[in-house]
Structure 1
Amino acid sequence: METDQIKTPQSLSAKFEGSFAYLTVRDRLPTILTKVIDTIHRNKKNFFEEHGEEGVDAEKRTISFLSKLRNELQTDKPVLCLADEAEDTAAWNEYMKRQQELMEDGQPVSWFKSPWLYVECYMYRKIQEALWLNPPINDFDVFKEGKTQSFFESQQAIISLCTHLREFLTSVDNPDENQLYDQFLKYVQVSLWGNKCDLSISAGQDNSQKTSPIESLSTLQRFILVDDSDKVWSALTALWASGGTEKRGARVDIILDNAGFELVTDLVLADFMVSVGLAKEVRFHGKLFPWFVSDVTKKDFDWTLSQIVASNHRQMSACGVQWKRFMKEGMWSYHDHQFWTLPHEFCDMAADAADLYSTLQGSDLILFKGDLNYRKLTGDRDWEHTVPFARALRGFNPAPLCSIRTLKANVQVGLQPGQGERLTSQEPDWMTNGKYAVIQFFCPRREQ
């Protein structure tokens, strides 16, 4: 029977493996909090040099706040309302009231008994509350060190990818549609596998990309469980046909996930689409504040472009110069919205963030990157694997959309009958080890 049971931390026991140590989902959050506390403490000297004793006092108060939070998490204490005065505070507290109404027997909303998606998002919002309540260190990004390290440790892969893109764009005159399709598939798959570099899953441990991404694609192809790349291509090229004598490029919205190497893969894909005329405009959507360890903020986005421009590698720098030009001329733009850092499932967007939903309705194609976006698209529920992707979206259909995601959480829909069972018998942790991936497309105009 198809189910859509909401998952709670108690129902999850999957372990994550790869280049990092095993971590259960319940262990991961205290581990991340511990790293955050350590990062703040290690920057005590910097706080003093910049703010004097006021900075040191703020460091102490923030660590005390986060240590208390870690204890509450580990001992299943009730989830408390936010006490800061940020623009999203009321929305968070209203959402907690909704969760309380869903609790059986009047039990308080607590860490172990609430939906896993909610409490995980709540922890990252509380980290931000700890900083916002304690100026003058309230603008400190506790995850910046890890994001920066991940970027620099992926330099060779970034150089390889930028070189591949620039050589194609400058050496192939008037590529035909087959050539463009072949390159498009490569850049979509590079963007897909770039999603493996997720610091929230590895609890901040090194998970950078060190090998040539293009060269590894053929060996990774068999791990893509659902590949709707051809449907994405068709959605883009259909606009060419509708443009008459002049090909009309699409407006593409990319809902970003991780900074570092993954962001570069997204920029390369966007560059390709604009440069060959598949897209006339690309709108990048990121987070308002540091989120899930490695998610992209405006500062991360701008910093990455500046680093690419400043590279002493000719092709990498050339990409950066082009990307800066795209931003200046409006073909690229960066946007953020508080909805991306709320706990809501995306089916709530039309009601709870009508302005954002309306904006996305103007898109020709929305690309959702990564695991958290997939969890929010599907409500992070215990769906049967054969449930259609369209059904799991539960009415979220602003425009044609595609989820590009490596599997690192216990939710996956849209598989063939028996496919999930075979994978479970072969690899019990197939949904969480980052080895498998999907490119899943939904077009409301075609399926409704």
Structure 2
Amino acid sequence: MLLSNIWCMRLFCRSFAYLTIKDRLPQILTKAIDSLHRHKNEFFEKYGEEGMEAEKKAISLLSKLRNELQTDKPVTPLVEKYIDTDIWNQYLEYQQSLISESDGKARWFYSPWLFVECYMYRRIHDAIIQSPPIDYFDVFKESKGQNFFESQESAVILCTHLQQLKSRVGHLSREQLRSEFFRLLQISLWGNKCDLSLSGGETSAQKSNLINSLDDLKPFILVNDMERLWSLLCKEEEKASAVRVAIVLDNSGFELVTDLILADFLLSSKLATEVHFYGKIIPWFVSDTTIHDFNWLIKQVKRSDHKWMSRCGGDWKNYVKMGRWVYVDHMFWTLPHEFSAMSQVAPDLYAELQKAHLILFKGDLNYRKLTGDRKWEFTVPFHQALNGFHPAPLCSIRTLKAEIQVGLQPGQGEQLAAADPSWLTMGKYGIFQSDGLL
């Protein structure tokens, strides 16, 4: 049963959504402003007074945005012309049409959570592109880089494991291959804990050996469709000469390392012949992956002093060069629409996803958009919550960081809530939840 659209924050003043808008988003905006401040000398060295004025303008626009948010001002149309500006403003008009308040204006605390959270990040980009010549600047770049470097010891362990695994992959039995596949899937899942939007931009590094933690973490996997993923890929491998796996990325930094390690294994084990990565076209939700982040991370891994990590970077660069790894960005990923609208709003992207034999959706934001960010009953089937979105067999790989979860057993959600009231929002629990897999 569908209870309601999630969330009109004024009606849920104790909800995670409300606290996100009230506390976490202003904190993220403050850090974005601080990032511009810290780079003012760089802007001056590159562009002189023009760079200084651009920095001041961007800061002014972000400060204005923070004030609008904190004082619950009306949500205003985007100003600067960009490829998605008209679509965004049309969506804003749609939201306005749903408002029953006297002035008929969408406001920060009177609007659906997914909409206003996406809107804030799009307004950040609006502020930057209104401020040439620094209109290229990523206010989250430092945070993303810090996450990677602070997690480097853990990344080295994973790269070493991968290279050792690849050296013997041709001699593994089918059962051993299955076990390694499950291991790397779980590493990719728990890599999703490293989310800078959840931490408000504070450091969210992985500093422990994730491989050694997998057995302890297994009880926290609430929905586990790994066996279905394995069966699907085995069948596709047998019947098709080319098998494409699509990974809709979430966070850069350590999580991206775990995703690339999984993707490398898919090729090395011949479970897939090509992997297409889908990322954001602009900086998004602090740590989401852009093409710059994707290329930068591969370059950093290749430059590593550690031989196995460097070997990984060299392999990954070659996969891109050979076209076995393809990075694709599209404006749809940074629109406020749920994924069930993709076939109408972005039919080209939907058609591209239909070419995949399997789509892996990483992270919490993708899950919210898959399910329409609605407050579903916990037992509602995942297929129902997708609301007709099914370009290909798909699976959500996510640690829970928002008040939404479907496809649980009767009573499971209530038992979790009784034992741990914050079970939905702290990234402690994870899922492999599939649709269209036998």
Normalised-by-shorter TM-score class: over 0.9
Deviation at 1:59, TM superposition (A): 0.9
Which residue of structure 1 lines up, in the alignment, with residue 233 of structure 2?
Answer: 236
Which residue of structure 1 lines up, in the alignment, with residue 319 of structure 2?
Answer: 326
* C-alpha distance 213-235 of structure 1, shift in aligned 2 (>3 A): same
Give me the whole-angstrom Cα distance separating, in 2, the residues matched to 1:319 and 1:42: 33
Structure 2, unmatched stretches of 5+, are none
Where do residues 126-165 of structure 1 align in structure 2 (5 Å cutoff)? 126-165=123-162
Residue aligned with 2:212, SS: coil
**CA-atom RMSD in angstroms:** 1.4
Which residue of structure 2 lines up, in the alignment, with residue 205 of structure 1?
Answer: 202
Matched, 1:85 2:78: no
Give me the whole-angstrom Cα distance separating, in 2, the residues matched to 1:209 and 1:187: 16
CA contact (8 A) 1:13 1:24 kept: no
Relative to the length of structure 2, the TM-score reads 0.97
Deviation at 1:180, TM superposition (A): 0.8
Give me the whole-angstrom Cα distance separating, in 1, the residues matched to 2:246 and 2:13: 32
Which residue of structure 1 lines up, in the alignment, with residue 46 of structure 2?
Answer: 50
Give me the whole-angstrom Cα distance separating, in 1, the residues matched to 2:44 and 2:8: 41
Deviation at 1:14, TM superposition (A): 4.2
Structure 1, unmatched stretches of 5+, are 17-22
Matched, 1:194 2:191: yes
Which residue of structure 2 lines up, in the alignment, with residue 59 of structure 1?
Answer: 55
Deviation at 1:229, TM superposition (A): 0.5
- Of residues 316, 319, 322, the one that matches 2:309 is 316
Which residue of structure 2 lines up, in the alignment, with residue 3 of structure 1?
Answer: 3
Which residue of structure 2 lines up, in the alignment, with residue 30 of structure 1?
Answer: 26
CA contact (8 A) 2:302 2:311 kept: yes
CA contact (8 A) 2:61 2:127 kept: yes
Which residue of structure 1 lines up, in the alignment, with residue 224 of structure 2?
Answer: 227
Worse-superposed segment, 233-242 or 387-396: 233-242
One-letter amino acid matched to 2:194: C
- Of residues 353, 358, 363, the one that matches 2:351 is 358
CA contact (8 A) 1:199 1:294 kept: yes
One-letter amino acid matched to 2:352: T
Which residue of structure 2 lines up, in the alignment, with residue 215 of structure 1?
Answer: 212
Write the deviation string for residues 378-419 of structure 1: whole angstroms up to 9, x where unpaired.
111111100111011000000000000000111110100000
Deviation at 1:6, TM superposition (A): 3.0
Give me the whole-angstrom Cα distance separating, in 1, the residues matched to 2:350 and 2:13: 31
Deviation at 1:42, TM superposition (A): 1.5
Residue aligned with 1:214, SS: helix
Residue aligned with 1:142, SS: coil
* C-alpha distance 111-86 of structure 1, shift in aligned 2 (>3 A): same
Give me the whole-angstrom Cα distance separating, in 2, the residues matched to 1:417 and 1:14: 23
CA contact (8 A) 1:236 1:249 kept: no
One-letter amino acid matched to 1:48: F
One-letter amino acid matched to 1:395: G
Give me the whole-angstrom Cα distance separating, in 1, the residues matched to 2:263 and 2:54: 41
Matched, 1:386 2:361: no
Residue aligned with 1:431, SS: coil
Residue aligned with 2:273, SS: strand
Matched, 1:264 2:257: yes
Give me the whole-angstrom Cα distance separating, in 1, the residues matched to 2:343 and 2:67: 36
Which residue of structure 2 lines up, in the alignment, with residue 19 of structure 1?
Answer: none
One-letter amino acid matched to 2:134: I
CA contact (8 A) 1:347 1:394 kept: yes
Write the deviation string for residues 128-170 of structure 1: whole angstroms up to 9, x where unpaired.
0001001011101100000000000001110000111110110
One-letter amino acid matched to 1:145: E
Give me the whole-angstrom Cα distance separating, in 2, the residues matched to 1:182 and 1:298: 31
Worse-superposed segment, 312-321 or 169-178: 169-178
One-letter amino acid matched to 1:376: K
Deviation at 1:172, TM superposition (A): 4.6
The alignment-based identity, stated in percent, is 56
Deviation at 1:71, TM superposition (A): 0.8
Give me the whole-angstrom Cα distance separating, in 2, the residues matched to 1:2 and 1:61: 44
Deviation at 1:250, TM superposition (A): 1.8
One-letter amino acid matched to 2:5: Q
Matched, 1:72 2:65: no
Matched, 1:117 2:118: no
Which residue of structure 2 lines up, in the alignment, with residue 20 of structure 1?
Answer: none
* C-alpha distance 173-5 of structure 1, shift in aligned 2 (>3 A): closer
Which residue of structure 1 lines up, in the alignment, with residue 332 of structure 2?
Answer: 339
